[in-house]
Amino acid sequence: MMLFLENILLALESLRANKMRALLTILGIIIGIASVIAIMSVGNSIRVSLVRSMESIGANNITLGLRQKEKKEEVTEEGYRFEGELGETTMSEEDYLTNEMLEEAKKQFADEIEGVVLSESVGDGQAKEGKKSSNVTVIGANTAYMKNQNFKLLSGRLLTERDQAEKTEVVLISDRVVKKLFDGDAGKAPGSRIEVFLNGKYYSYTIVGVYEYDKSVFTAIPEEYVSTEVYLPFEAAREQMHKTSGYSQIMLTAKSGINSERFARELETWFNGKYFRDNENYEISATSMEDMVKSMTGMLSTTSAAISAIAGISLLVGGIGVMNIMMVSVTERTREIGTRKALGATNDSIRLQFIMEAIVICLMGGFIGIVLGLILARVITNTMGYAAAPSIAGCFLSVAFSIFIGVFFGYYPANKAAMMNPIEALRYE
């Protein structure tokens, strides 16, 4: 233990004696570690924010959508095999999911299905009140959709079953629309009427409620271009769009405790077996929110790791710099090495002295790099509008890698010092 501490003190003394050279050597390690930490932390922040956003939509949500069937493999008379290609087909009334199918599914899976979430995008437009305007996206939504979104209601009420049944032209708007059109008075908006210019026409709606929209989702977009959702009863939206056919995509909410990944597979098998087995063009594809989260986080992790590996090349350059400076140090201290060996120092103690010096250099660079990397990551994530989520694993990995670099790149110079002939070392000028 004493020898270990003595070697650390010797290393620090050597660095103090050559401050500028030590600083330039450490700089390569600092840049490499800071780059890796910043990239991993930014990637982690984006991943955490994405997972939270998707989970807020509903961890038990399962999306059912129509996808085109792959054509079967074709075999020519000559025996050549060709993989079937997806052709361009137009959906007919028979291809869509219908209300009857959904009702049958709810009966079949009564113990698993909590509700059917339906939404319909009407389009992007502008809500107007006199000369004031606000960018909006009009969405038709049923009651299950309203419950699934966990709206924070500021005034008024949500869309009700009665609104859905009567197809009333009432809307739920965001507090941002209230800020633009009603001077921020959320209590004044319910009961008022607004005009929405949509798809080349003006539509008049009665406001029934105001919700608080999640500003963090749009912070990267300039304020003047932000568009928030205006919610209209689902059937009213479909009637406004003159849609009478079924659905190309719906969302089911599984009950609490149900394994949504497994249930998605069951739903896909049941729908395709019962309704789409004889359909030549389309079949049902079921995707759970858990599947989507895993897929997205996997892609982000892979991308972050790849970029970190590229940034890690600078660590290799820094390691070469450490080896170079240690070689110079060994040459400059040849007489010191000879004296220590003449006084009884073993090869192992000499080797350990120089390895420890290399490790100290790399650890100092590593710790400074971690601090700079975390600061840089915080600045980047704040600029992008994400909450900072430092990569703890990246910090530990950086410290471990710093030690590895010190040992790996310091071993050759240390071994060269340890194998010196003491007599020749004492004669060195």
pLDDT digits (tens, 9 = 90+) for 39-68: 888 877 777 776 666 655 556 788 888 888
The pLDDT of residue 82 is 45
**CB neighbourhood size of 103 (10 A):** 11
Residue 227 has pLDDT above 80, yes or no: yes
- Residue 57's pLDDT is 58
Q: What is the mean pLDDT of the chain?
A: 79
State the greatest distance between any 2 C-alpha atoms of the chain, in Å, as a whole number.
103
Once rounded to an integer, what is the mean pLDDT over residues 266-294? 84
Percent of the chain with pLDDT over 90: 7
Spatial separation of the C-alpha atoms in residues 410 and 324, rounded to whole Å:
9
Tell me what the mean pLDDT of segment 217-226 comes to.
Answer: 57
Segment 344-366, tens digit of pLDDT: 778 888 888 778 888 888 888 88
Asked if the model's pLDDT at residue 324 lies above 50, the reply is yes
Amino acid at 286: A
339 band by pLDDT with thresholds 50, 70 and 90: confident
Which pairing describes strands 74-75 and 81-82: parallel, antiparallel, or unpaired? antiparallel
Rounded to whole angstroms, the Cα distance separating 411 from 398 reads 20
- Distance from C-alpha of 266 to C-alpha of 72, rounded to nearest angstrom: 24
The answer to whether residue 262 scores a pLDDT higher than 90 is no
User: Which pLDDT band, with edges at 50, 70 and 90, does 86 fall under?
Assistant: very low
Domain boundaries, the chain: 2-54+297-427, 119-240
pTM value is: 0.55
The whole-number pLDDT of residue 232 equals 93
4-8, 24-28, 142-146, 238-242: least confident range: 4-8
Is 125 or 341 the better-scoring residue by pLDDT? 125
